[in-house]
């Protein structure tokens, strides 16, 4: 019976490409899963890619731009192409088949170009832990294990983190020996010793995805991959580890480097080392007939091992003029043809590679430019279903680079290596360019010993196991790309996932770009899930070759965290939903719910937007609410407005320095409107200020600006004026605030707080003037009343401890019932204030607006020597006549509500836009339909707006030009007569 004949074992059906024995999978535990609608069976310990390869499945997905078939290109996170979407038991998008462990009931599909987000909530639990150690070891390969053993035997606190499901690193995918026995037996002994050490934390399935300053590292542990993806009760699916280490040893291994050639993206094209891993770790032959294309010695191991496992190896194609003697003899012994001085110049196949096209290797390179295939011998066609490629190895320098370590180019290896020893981070093993097993082991132990000695710990020597002598290594070729004989580079894929080709790199250079950082952004090379693990250095080499320079002069892109993708849910951990972004509600929230309020999110606050009656849409409800506030009385829950308690002998001085107008002259019992500007003179917030005592003020801010303003005030106080004796505290949630608005508002206030109700408040204009406040009580509960109006109507703000907010609100509503008191929401509030020309900071401003632009020269003190932003008012740019001013707009047709954000252009008699680029005069900032005006109106920022009063402008709306008249911003009661009732 041949090795490729399907058989049945006690463990279940064996796939045609599964070896009869060998591998690290548990053949006694078959696992059924579904991929692309087809049921498959693998074994516990398989990845999705190894199980699919065992069944002969190579195509996994399609590419993002061109829709070309994409297959399995590697055996772990460096795979640039095998993206899948897990559908069951929980939706999980954009995962690599090479890193997904199969489990019973897994359902997955290949990604068709782009992934999609789950349409159901993720019910899994995620969490995080903190860990402090003397030594963090990243990677549990030979170097990492030797480092961890050295540290553990020295009594140090050690963390050993590795991304694979089991320790061993490169040894998992090989048949190496150590001390004359299988290397994995040494690995098992090392793991057992570490497990017994009390000061060691050893985590597999844990990827260190970022290193930062002062020995800080972030890692993500996949805690349920081996449990069928389901989290048992109390077990989180993934965990973020925040590790602080005195020293770090990084033993990250290396990524095999591909070679670029025409049609190198076909499924069945794979890194040579990956095929060896699938064979030795998973017991899977990646194909039945293989061609091996290499520029170095390492791929010969794959050719020999696959041949020994029953794979027909059609040829080893080596770009070098002579094959390494040792491996040439091994190939000859197995009847493997070796073709030197040659390269794969293309492939054939549809959904999978069916042949490799082999021709003489053209050493003229890309710099020679396009060439004609006329007169050249036709390439040899080698039929195969597996094409293995090796262009050398790139040390995984990502973490070293994240720690701001410099790199240098090693011309012999054709790779970038760490160029310096960082203070608290050492690199060992193949990550440092040591590809000999014995050297890796020695480096691991020596690096740990050095790190421990530097932090003052005694070092106990650990014997280094002995590895057999390796065959002599011959010099590799440095080949980035095999030029297409016809000069067509449009199907030579540098980044397989991004569909980015050599032609794209050529275009980038033709556009004048030279830096790999710029080329990366022009071509998108290295921006996919693999972050350029296989494409980044190759792209640098191609850039260098096209420019006729050396790779070291071109350099690399910046390696940034995360090293591998991390799910947002993992980073969020338990801080999800209301724990991530708390929902803040006022004391009257439940009352609003009972009244059917429609909600608006303002920052973290839930605010009623409007209260629809039966059959009302928003426009109808808002018109009704506005009419009530203008003709009778309305009530608003304004508790969300920011409130900052400013206390201390220098409280007035601090406010004088921050506001454009004087606050220190405000009398106790008075209220003043104020504006804050940034250092550039642009408005950042506004609100009212109540002077509560000689040394105490209550600062009111916008709802969304509360935290920002408090931070702004603290920053100036702590960093610029620490000598001021003043303290600040947020009291936003301590006070409920209810504006009672409209011509009958005085009747409501009198009915609740006046003498007729047993109170002491005289609500007349003479006794209670505009912009004043006074304290009173309601059945023993302290209440503060302030004559403040954000609507232009007669109005009071009722402030009370939030604990009594609902009771006071209900009293006000009951007292207003005879007058038809109407609760109104934020939409009505906006209409009322816009009719009066009161701006909303952040809506009617955009960070380029001064108080003068808003028509508020009066709020800028002429008496103060200085305040934040004052000097900027003198800048010539801030005094231009054509600055954008806040104005009103009235659509001429009297019916069109101008969309907010619409651009404003010059009025055109023929109603036709001028040719592009169309000069823009400004934009609409607020736009509503007014019950009082019985027509739509808008506020806008308009160039030279005040000088345009009475003129017409045009606003493009849905393909037509709407004429609008420019007016002043105050459209209701410009005289202010309504303010006092």
874-912 burial: b if 16+ Cβ within 10 Å, else e: eeeebeeeebbbbbbbbbeeeebbbeeebebbebeeeee
Token pair of 122 as six digits: 């993720």
Token pair of 266 as six digits: 């076909």
Query: What percentage of the chain exceeds 70 in pLDDT?
Result: 97
Residue 796's contacts (CB-CB under 8 Å, 6 or more residues apart) are 739, 740, 745, 749, 763, 785, 786, 787, 788
Amino acid 374: pLDDT: 55
Q: What are phi and psi of 246, to 5 degrees?
A: -70, -35
Token pair of 198 as six digits: 């009390």
CA distance linking residue 607 with residue 824, whole number of Å:
11
- Cα 326 from chain centre: 49
Q: Name which of 496-500, 909-913, 943-947 the model is least confident about.
A: 909-913
CA distance linking residue 211 with residue 562, whole number of Å:
9
**What is the per-residue pLDDT across 160-175, written as a single tens digit (0 to 9) for each?**
999 999 999 999 999 8
- Nearest Cα neighbor of 283 from 34, 43, 30, 60 is 43
Q: What is the pTM of this model?
A: 0.76
CA distance linking residue 61 with residue 529, whole number of Å:
14
CA distance readout (Å), 239 to 122, 231, 290, 450: 15, 12, 41, 31
- Cα 359 from chain centre: 45
CB 12 within 8 A of CB 24: no
Report the chain's mean pLDDT, rounded to a whole number.
94
Q: With a cut of 90, say whether residue 17 has pLDDT above it.
A: yes
Please, which pLDDT band fits residue 367 given cuts at 50, 70 and 90?
Answer: low
**What is the per-residue pLDDT across 286-344, written as a single tens digit (0 to 9) for each?**
999 999 999 999 999 999 999 999 999 999 999 999 999 999 999 999 999 999 999 99
CA distance linking residue 667 with residue 739, whole number of Å:
23
**What is the per-residue pLDDT across 911-931, written as a single tens digit (0 to 9) for each?**
888 888 999 999 999 999 999
**What is the per-residue pLDDT across 884-893, written as a single tens digit (0 to 9) for each?**
999 999 999 9
- Nearest Cα neighbor of 130 from 234, 244, 25, 39 is 244
**What is the per-residue pLDDT across 372-407, written as a single tens digit (0 to 9) for each?**
555 578 999 999 999 999 999 999 999 999 999 999
Amino acid 229: pLDDT: 53
Amino acid 233: pLDDT: 65
CA distance linking residue 545 with residue 539, whole number of Å:
10
Token pair of 885 as six digits: 């001013």
Parallel, antiparallel, or unpaired: how do β-strands 683-693 and 696-701 relate?
Answer: antiparallel
Tokens 């320098």 correspond to 397
CA distance linking residue 856 with residue 754, whole number of Å:
36
Residue 928, helix vs strand vs coil: strand
Please, which pLDDT band fits residue 461 given cuts at 50, 70 and 90?
Answer: confident
Q: Rg (Cα) of the chain, in Å, rounded? A: 37
Please confirm whether the linkage preceding 89 is cis (ω < 30° from 0): yes
């Amino acid at each position: 019976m041949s090795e490729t004949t399907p058989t049945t074992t006690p463990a279940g059906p064996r796939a045609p490409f599964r070896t009869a024995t060998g591998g690290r999978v548990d053949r006694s535990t078959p696992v059924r899963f579904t991929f692309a609608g087809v049921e498959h069976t693998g074994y516990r310990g398989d990845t999705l890619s190894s199980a699919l390869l065992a069944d002969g499945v190579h195509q996994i997905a399609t590419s993002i731009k061109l829709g070309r078939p994409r297959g399995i290109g590697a055996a772990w996170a460096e795979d640039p192409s095998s993206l899948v979407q897990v559908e069951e038991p929980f939706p999980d998008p954009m995962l690599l088949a090479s890193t997904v462990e199969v489990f019973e009931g897994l359902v997955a599909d290949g990604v068709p170009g782009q992934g999609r987000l789950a349409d159901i909530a993720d019910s899994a639990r995620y969490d995080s832990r903190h860990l402090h150690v003397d030594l963090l070891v990243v990677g549990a390969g030979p170097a990492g294990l030797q480092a961890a053993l050295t540290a553990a035997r020295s009594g140090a606190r050690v963390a050993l983190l590795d991304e694979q499901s089991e320790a061993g690193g490169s040894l998992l995918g090989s048949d190496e020996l150590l001390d004359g026995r299988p290397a994995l037996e040494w690995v098992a002994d090392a793991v057992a010793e570490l497990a017994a050490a009390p000061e060691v934390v050893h985590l597999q399935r844990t990827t260190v995805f970022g290193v930062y300053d002062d020995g800080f590292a972030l890692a993500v542990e996949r805690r349920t991959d081996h449990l069928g993806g389901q989290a048992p009760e109390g077990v989180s699916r993934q965990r973020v580890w925040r590790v602080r280490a005195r020293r770090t040893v990084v033993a990250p291994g290396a990524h095999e480097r591909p070679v670029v050639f025409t049609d190198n993206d076909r499924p069945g094209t794979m890194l040579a080392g990956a095929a060896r891993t699938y064979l030795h770790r998973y017991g899977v032959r990646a194909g039945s007939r293989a061609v091996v294309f290499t520029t170095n010695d390492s791929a010969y191991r794959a050719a020999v091992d696959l041949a020994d496992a029953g794979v027909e190896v059609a040829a080893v194609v080596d770009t070098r003029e002579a094959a390494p003697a040792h491996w040439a003899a091994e190939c000859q012994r197995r009847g493997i043809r070796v073709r030197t001085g040659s390269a794969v110049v293309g492939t054939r196949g549809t959904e999978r590679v069916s042949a490799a096209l082999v021709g003489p290797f053209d050493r003229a390179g890309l710099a020679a430019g396009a060439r004609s295939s006329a007169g050249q011998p036709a390439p040899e066609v080698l039929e195969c279903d597996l094409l293995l490629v090796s262009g050398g190895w790139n040390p995984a320098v990502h973490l070293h680079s994240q720690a701001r370590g410099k790199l240098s180019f090693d011309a012999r290896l054709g790779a970038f290596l760490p160029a310096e020893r960082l203070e608290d981070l050492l690199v060992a093993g193949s990550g440092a360019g040591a590809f000999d097993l014995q050297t890796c082991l020695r480096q691991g132990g020596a690096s740990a010993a050095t790190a421990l000695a530097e932090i003052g710990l005694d070092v106990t020597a650990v014997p280094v196991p002995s590895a057999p002598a390796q065959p002599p290594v011959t010099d590799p070729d440095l080949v980035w790309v095999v030029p297409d004989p016809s000069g067509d580079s449009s199907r030579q894929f540098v980044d397989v996932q991004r569909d980015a080709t050599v032609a794209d790199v050529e275009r980038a250079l033709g556009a004048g770009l030279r830096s790999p950082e710029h080329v990366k952004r022009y071509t998108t090379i290295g921006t996919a899930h693999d972050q350029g693990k296989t494409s980044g250095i190759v792209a640098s080499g191609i850039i260098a070759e096209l420019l006729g320079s050396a790779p070291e002069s071109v350099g690399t892109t910046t390696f940034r965290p995360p090293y591998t993708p991390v799910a947002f849910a993992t980073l969020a951990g338990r801080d999800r939903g209301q724990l991530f972004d708390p929902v803040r509600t006022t004391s009257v929230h439940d009352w609003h719910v009972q009244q059917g309020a429609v909600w608006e999110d303002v920052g973290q606050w839930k605010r009623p937007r409007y209260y629809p009656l039966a059959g009302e849409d928003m426009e109808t409800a808002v018109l009704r609410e506005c009419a009530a506030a203008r003709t009778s009385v309305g009530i608003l829950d304004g508790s969300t407005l920011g409130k900052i308690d400013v206390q201390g002998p220098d409280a007035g001085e601090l406010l004088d320095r921050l506001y454009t107008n004087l606050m220190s002259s405000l009398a106790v019992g008075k209220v003043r409107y104020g504006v804050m500007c940034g250092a550039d003179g642009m408005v950042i917030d506004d609100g009212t200020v109540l002077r509560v005592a000689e040394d105490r003020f209550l600062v009111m801010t916008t709802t969304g600006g509360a935290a920002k303003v408090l931070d702004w005030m603290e920053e100036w106080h702590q960093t610029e004026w620490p000598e001021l004796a003043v303290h600040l505290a947020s009291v936003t949630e301590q006070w409920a605030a209810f504006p009672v608005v409209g011509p009958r508002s005085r009747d409501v206030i009198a009915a609740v707080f006046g003498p007729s109700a047993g109170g002491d408040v005289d609500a007349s204009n003479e006794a209670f003037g505009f912009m004043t406040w006074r304290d009173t009580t309601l059945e023993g509960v302290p209440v503060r009343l302030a004559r403040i109006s954000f609507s232009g109507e007669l109005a009071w703000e009722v402030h009370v401890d939030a604990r009594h907010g609902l009771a006071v609100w209900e009293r006000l509503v009951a007292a207003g019932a005879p007058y038809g008191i109407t609760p109104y929401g934020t939409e009505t509030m906006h209409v009322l204030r816009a009719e009066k020309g009161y701006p909303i900071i952040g809506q009617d401003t955009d960070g380029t607006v001064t108080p003068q632009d808003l028509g508020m020269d009066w709020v800028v003190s002429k008496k103060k020597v200085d305040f934040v932003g004052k000097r900027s008012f003198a800048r010539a740019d801030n005094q231009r006549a054509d600055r954008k001013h806040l104005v009103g707009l009235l659509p001429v047709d009297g019916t069109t509500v101008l969309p907010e954000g619409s651009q404003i252009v010059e009025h055109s008699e023929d109603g036709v836009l001028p040719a592009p680029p169309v000069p823009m005069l400004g934009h609409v900032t607020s736009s509503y339909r007014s019950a009082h005006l019985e027509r739509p109106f808008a506020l806008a920022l308009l160039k030279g707006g005040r000088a345009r009063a009475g003129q017409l402008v045009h606003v493009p709306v849905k393909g037509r030009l709407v004429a609008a008249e420019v007016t002043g911003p105050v459209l209701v009661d410009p005289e202010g007569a309504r303010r006092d009732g």
